[in-house]
Structure 1
Amino acid sequence: MPHSARDLLDGIQAELAPHDNDNRMVPLIALGRAPRGVFAAIAAEEQRITSSDWRSFHAMAARADEPHVRAFLDGLPPGEQQALAMLDALVTAAGPDQGMELPRAGCQAYPGYVAWLALNAEPSCAAAGIYTNVAAFGRYCGAVADGMRTHYEFDDPACAFFDFFAADTPVIEQRAFAAIQAGLDTERLNPNDAHLYARLFQNYELMFWNTLADEFPG
């Protein structure tokens, strides 16, 4: 059993690493090979996801009675709210001629899973899964923002959502490590569950992007 948050997270990352490059959409955007219409789809899907995750993180935090775990989870909803506001510029830049975007099950499975965690998971275990995925999502967002500027001529406001999640967040990292360590120290965090939640996060994250890759092939 790992004794530190770092040991646990290193073990999780080692398990997930073989699938780090299974995302088929982000490389298309990074190379400028994805059709421009994908950005309207991303914006519409992310509007639904951030709204749902905002509620789920509040519910998750309300169930957390350990101070460090609650501090980490309480810090997540404000970021979701801020990110949601940033999507308006992308919606406008992607073009109103894209029409009404209907939700895709493959994209909305992700927030459904987060909602499940909010109701069922030990909060410190959920924190481990969330933090692992935040790091992966940040890497994807950095590549998307670069591709948007280089190949699609999007301006800074249109890229702001992706810039936000790609930015280094030392406070979030510190809170995450404290939350995970508290879970280990109190023996509330089951490492097997933490690995499972992180693996499912990766699966649902990849499902989001690869659903779009199937619809918008390069």
Structure 2
Amino acid sequence: MFDDEFDHDAAGLVARARAEATTASAGNRFLELLETGQVPQERLRRLAGEEYRIIGSDRRSFALLASRYPEAPAGDMFLTLALGEGQALVLLMDFAAALGMSEKDLSAYEPRPQAQTYPAYLAQRAAFGRAGEVALAMLANLEEWGAYCGRAAEALRVHYDMDEKAVAFFRFFAESPPGFAAQATEVIAAALEAGDDPHDLLRAARMLHAYETDFWDSLAIGI
């Protein structure tokens, strides 16, 4: 599987993981419905409730990774990601408020298992995985996730009459953190130099992509 030399360096591995994610993508029915105004308010509230659980879990996962891998560049990257999740949580409250939901409502929301496979896998990798696995998984899937969030923000503005404050959560994730790509690539390079198996890194990227797909698919069920 790894006959080409580029597969063994960080840039080549990132390119391969991104290509695999693109090949595995089969559209996003929830966003297609959102972009035509067909998603009911109840399902938007579900989106807010699921994200509330995901953001809280991911924040803890990145903090755990920062404690397991405190040295630069991994420690700096994971701390930045944890801080970003904290910012996102604040912005999520504005989206929830636009839907008539309080933080008490978000806390009481009962999450769907299929929507929570992504944070569950990230938490597993945070506890038992390697820094390079998580760095590649996040970087390989970042462009698709960001594009989805950008589309969601526009659809909510156009079809659901939400203002910029209400969609700021999605705007936040539509843009990758400054310097993240270079930082993550450095972490991946360090992992490969330390002897991490590139198969393991690619597997983590594939799994995370599949679980992100689960999240979006779960939101479209029954619409």
Query: TM-score when scaled to structure 1?
Result: 0.91
Is 1:112 the counterpart of 2:120 in the alignment? Answer: yes
Q: Which residue of 2 aligns with 1:194?
A: 201
Q: Which residue of 2 aligns with 1:29?
A: 34
Alignment root-mean-square deviation, CA? 1.8
Structure 2 residue aligned with 1:121, among 129, 141, 156? 129
Cα drift, residue 66 of structure 1: 4.7
Q: 1:96 to 1:118 in 2, by over 3 A?
A: closer
Is 1:182 the counterpart of 2:190 in the alignment? Answer: yes
Cα drift, residue 69 of structure 1: 1.8
Structure 2 residue aligned with 1:170, among 163, 167, 178? 178
Q: Deviations over 1:161-186 (max 9, x none)?
A: 10000024331112111111211222
**Larger relative contact order (CA 8 Å, sep ≥ 6):** 1
In 1, distance between residues paired with 2:119 and 2:177?
A: 22
State, as a whole percentage, how many aligned pairs show the same letter.
34
In 2, distance between residues paired with 1:108 and 1:93?
A: 23
In 1, distance between residues paired with 2:109 and 2:70?
A: 39
| Equivalent position SS for 2:40 | coil
Cα drift, residue 3 of structure 1: 3.9
Q: Deviations over 1:101-134 (max 9, x none)?
A: 3211111121111110011111112211122223
* Preserved CA contact (<8 Å) 2:18 2:141: no
Is 1:58 the counterpart of 2:63 in the alignment? Answer: yes
Cα drift, residue 92 of structure 1: 1.1
* Preserved CA contact (<8 Å) 1:61 1:123: no
Q: Which runs of 5+ in 2 are unaligned?
A: none
Cα drift, residue 35 of structure 1: 1.8
Q: Aligned ranges for residues 1-218 of structure 1 at < 5 Å?
A: 2-64=7-69, 66-96=71-101, 101-188=109-196, 190-215=197-222, 217=223
Q: 1:26 to 1:165 in 2, by over 3 A?
A: same
Q: Which runs of 4+ in 1 moved over 3 A?
A: none
Cα drift, residue 36 of structure 1: 2.7
* Preserved CA contact (<8 Å) 2:74 2:131: yes
* Preserved CA contact (<8 Å) 2:133 2:204: yes
The worse-fitting range, judged by mean Cα deviation, of 63-72 and 119-128 is 63-72
* Preserved CA contact (<8 Å) 2:21 2:140: no
Query: TM-score when scaled to structure 2?
Result: 0.89
In 1, distance between residues paired with 2:81 and 2:177?
A: 12
